[in-house]
A and B are shown apart, each in its own frame.
Chain A
Amino acid sequence: MSWVIRDATVDDVPSIMQVEHEAFGVDAWSAETIAADIARPTTKYFAVEAEGVVRGYAGVSALSGGEADILTIAVSAALRGQGVGRALLRRLIGEARENSARLIFLEVREDNRAAISLYQSEGFEFIGRRPAYYNDGMTALTMRRSLVDPVVAVGPVGAEALHAGRAAEGSALEGQVVTGQASVVAEPAPLVIGIETSCDETGVGIVRGTRLLANVIASSMDEHARFGGVVPEVAARAHLEALAPTLRQAVAEAGVRLSDVDAVAVTAGPGLAGALMVGVGAAKGLALALDKPLYGVNHLVGHVGADVLDRGAVVAPTVALLVSGGHTSLLLVRDLVDDVELLGETIDDAAGEAFDKVARLLGLPYPGGPHIQRAAESGNPKAVRFPRGLSLPKDMAAHRYDFSFSGVKTAVARYVESIRDSGAQVSTADTAASFQEAVVDVLLTKALAACADLGVPRLLLGGGVVANGALRAAAELRCAAQGVELRIPPLSLCTDNGAMIAALGAQLILAGKAPSTLSFGADSTLPATTAMVA
């Protein structure tokens, strides 16, 4: 049967689904998933057509950061044994190269020997294991190939049984097993474990270069609820308790051995001193036991660094707005590891803290952010015009990029008290919506002013308050209107986490930075200009 590989379109989805079900059984993707993936601008799908029928398909996502992922390769039984799988794989690799990818990754079932052999013969090497990755509990092996160095592919075209990303029926995968070793000479991306304990989340993350392998977070948030805010001693005690289980879980999820780690990174500051010390102490113990270098890194720069896990690099220059319960900072990032400037920060409460305090005023639980957002959904954001801190002309002269949320919190309190004193009912929804509007407005007004003033067409958001839907929605609208590219890493990388610390550590290593000395301490006020401590 003769066959041809062509670009796949959404119109191919019905016939692709037949191949999909045949190849992957219970692990088959839905038609919606495949259609959405084909339509996505960052992916490229190919279809194999034989005698007018689609008999196979494959897809790759080529990110701008120099890394590509093979999403799937499936070939129907009718076309096996004809080298279709290898041909598809090579098309995907070619596509990745054209998109300037330097590395290409895939995952494959550990029991799929035929596919593994094919990948090895095409120059892929093992970089990790992910236990219980597939629906039936099977382990996935992660493989990688450099696209920069010359790779000598050996072995005949002719193997089948390919599919990365997920499972296929073992029986459907019998093909010619190709043996042979490829010679891949690539600088391996550093495997870094990151520890974050600056506030109430114990985070341990593991990355390989810009690739996220594990991101485990234990939060003591519930223990703080009855106090209405994070209690440093409660947080620090919780860090010590969570340390060992969080470490072990991260290692298990990453499918690596701790002895394979190339370096340890830890948040040295800023943050709560007693909480930071648990992480720094632990990181030193870990680094010494593993006999590996240690990097004490900046928490705020870590938030910016989270973006490398999402798109392979932090595109600079960018303005970064970091908003959490502990920070409200506006940074100008010209270079992640070498040139971060603090444009402004809150002079009193952090934005997240204001959410907590206003939630209490309104009788809403801790943490305030999600409850305010929910209450605000049915409220009128224009009901009350709450003040925008440090936005008056005189403030803009002295505090152009600084924030203040103490005033808006007091204004809400005054408003609520005046309504209640008059015997009327306070509209929780309107008050929440109006307060949220004021906070979101001032955050974005100042961030976008910085973009405009500095001629920087990019804004990156980070910090737990990014979970607020109103902030994200307004950011999208206002950035689009101003022609500013908006970056919001996945929420799990926006809230405090160890993966961003590991990612920053990896960037520091790749930039050739020497590790920190063993004698650094926790620095609760570490300035954002210091990406790592000496």
Chain B
Amino acid sequence: MILAVDSSSGTSVALVGAARVVAEASSDDTIGHTEVVGTLIAQVLHEAQASPGDVTLVASGIGPGPFTGLRVGMAAARAYAVALGVPEVGVLSHDAAALEWLEHHYARARTGLAQLDPSVTIATDARRKQLFVSQYFGLDDNWLPVRTQGPSIVSAADAPAEGWIRPERISAGFLGLIAARRRNMGVPQTEAVPQYLRDPDVTPSAGPKRVTS
């Protein structure tokens, strides 16, 4: 079973089997990641009636997302993987949002509810009046989203009035599905390296200031 954890916006945790989400639990609080991450993991284990050691792969949402929260989920996922001696892989959080939207959209198109348009732009809050943005074009043969651009940071003022998908939450279930499909299909996994897309907000000191005039 795959344990998937994402804290790039709220916090979402899922257990994913070979091809389906077994349990998923989320909190939309965008600041309380540290408080909820443990209970969410416990909750999905309980719902799936799984024991902690049933996890054979850990998938971390690697952002982009506000740094402080993003790291909490990654730290929990990483330590979980180290504890069990299982691999930890990374999944771009926007990929999960794109997969969720595209699967839903394909389903609507198949049933004639929508015109098929595989282009989608995922935008999430980067704070400081900026957005993290990634563009996708449909799903590939393995049913993995095809990212054509990004992730990058843009000014929120440059966002079009409509058209961009602004997911309310990143689903760890879809995140885990991406890791599962990659594993099942032999598609290389991504390293679990956080996508901060911004340097730490600090500049080297120019030297001490005078205290006397």
A518 neighbours in B (Cβ, 8 Å): 38-39, 42
Q: Is A458 an interface residue (CB 8 A)?
A: no
Report the interface size class on chain A: 35 or more
- Scoring B79, B88, B211 by chain A CB atoms within 10 A of each residue's CB, the highest score goes to B79
B74 neighbours in A (Cβ, 8 Å): 240, 281
Which of A258, A283, A284, A414 is within 8 Å of B41, CB to CB?
Answer: A284
Decide if B204 touches A227 in the complex (CB within 8 Å): yes
Decide if B34 touches A361 in the complex (CB within 8 Å): no
Beta-carbon contacts of B184-213 to A below 8 Å, as 1s and 0s?
000000000010100011101101101110
Beta-carbon contacts of A115-138 to B below 8 Å, as 1s and 0s?
000000000000000000000000
Decide if A360 touches B208 in the complex (CB within 8 Å): yes
CA distance A279 to B53 in the complex (A): 22
Beta-carbon contacts of A240-284 to B below 8 Å, as 1s and 0s?
100110011000000000100000000000000110011111111
Decide if A231 touches B202 in the complex (CB within 8 Å): yes
Q: Is A184 an interface residue (CB 8 A)?
A: no
Decide if B72 touches A277 in the complex (CB within 8 Å): yes
Q: Is B84 an interface residue (CB 8 A)?
A: yes
CA distance A531 to B162 in the complex (A): 52
With known contacts A284-B41, A360-B207, A361-B208, A237–B200 Cβ distance under 8 A: yes
Beta-carbon contacts of B45-76 to A below 8 Å, as 1s and 0s?
10000011101000000000001100111111
Decide if A278 touches B71 in the complex (CB within 8 Å): yes
CA distance A336 to B56 in the complex (A): 40
Chain A, Cβ-Cβ closest to B43: A518
Decide if B78 touches A521 in the complex (CB within 8 Å): no
Q: Is A519 an interface residue (CB 8 A)?
A: yes
A247 neighbours in B (Cβ, 8 Å): 79, 82
Decide if B80 touches A285 in the complex (CB within 8 Å): yes
Task: Identify which of A172-180, A286-294, A423-431, A459-467 touches chain B.
Answer: A286-294
Decide if A289 touches B212 in the complex (CB within 8 Å): no
Which of B35, B68, B77 is within 8 Å of A520, CB to CB?
Answer: B35
Which of A233, A287, A361 is within 8 Å of B67, CB to CB?
Answer: A233
Q: Is B83 an interface residue (CB 8 A)?
A: yes
Q: Is B33 an interface residue (CB 8 A)?
A: yes
Q: Is B126 an interface residue (CB 8 A)?
A: no
With known contacts A233-B67, A518-B42, A281–B72 Cβ distance under 8 A: yes
CA distance A282 to B88 in the complex (A): 13
With known contacts A237-B196, A244-B82, A521–B76 Cβ distance under 8 A: no
A361 neighbours in B (Cβ, 8 Å): 208
Decide if B200 touches A277 in the complex (CB within 8 Å): no
Q: Is B32 an interface residue (CB 8 A)?
A: yes
CA distance A277 to B67 in the complex (A): 11
CB distance from B39 to the nearest CB of A (A): 5
Decide if A286 touches B83 in the complex (CB within 8 Å): yes
B153 neighbours in A (Cβ, 8 Å): none
Decide if B212 touches A414 in the complex (CB within 8 Å): yes
A228 neighbours in B (Cβ, 8 Å): 204-205
Decide if A289 touches B200 in the complex (CB within 8 Å): no
Decide if B202 touches A281 in the complex (CB within 8 Å): no
Chain A, Cβ-Cβ closest to B35: A521
CB distance from A326 to the nearest CB of B (A): 17
Q: Is B15 an interface residue (CB 8 A)?
A: no
With known contacts A286-B79, A417-B211, A278–B52 Cβ distance under 8 A: no
CA distance A243 to B75 in the complex (A): 8
Q: Is A234 an interface residue (CB 8 A)?
A: yes
Decide if B76 touches A284 in the complex (CB within 8 Å): yes
Q: Is B165 an interface residue (CB 8 A)?
A: no
A: residues with CB less than 8 A from B are: 226-228, 231, 233-234, 236-237, 239-240, 243-244, 247-248, 258, 273-274, 277-291, 294, 357, 360-361, 410, 413-414, 417-418, 421, 518-522
Which 9 residue pairs spanning A and B have beta carbons closest together? A285-B76, A289-B83, A284-B38, A281-B75, A285-B79, A518-B38, A233-B200, A285-B80, A282-B79
12 contacts between A and B (CB under 8 A): A226-B204, A228-B204, A236-B71, A243-B75, A243-B79, A244-B79, A277-B71, A281-B34, A284-B41, A289-B55, A413-B210, A520-B35
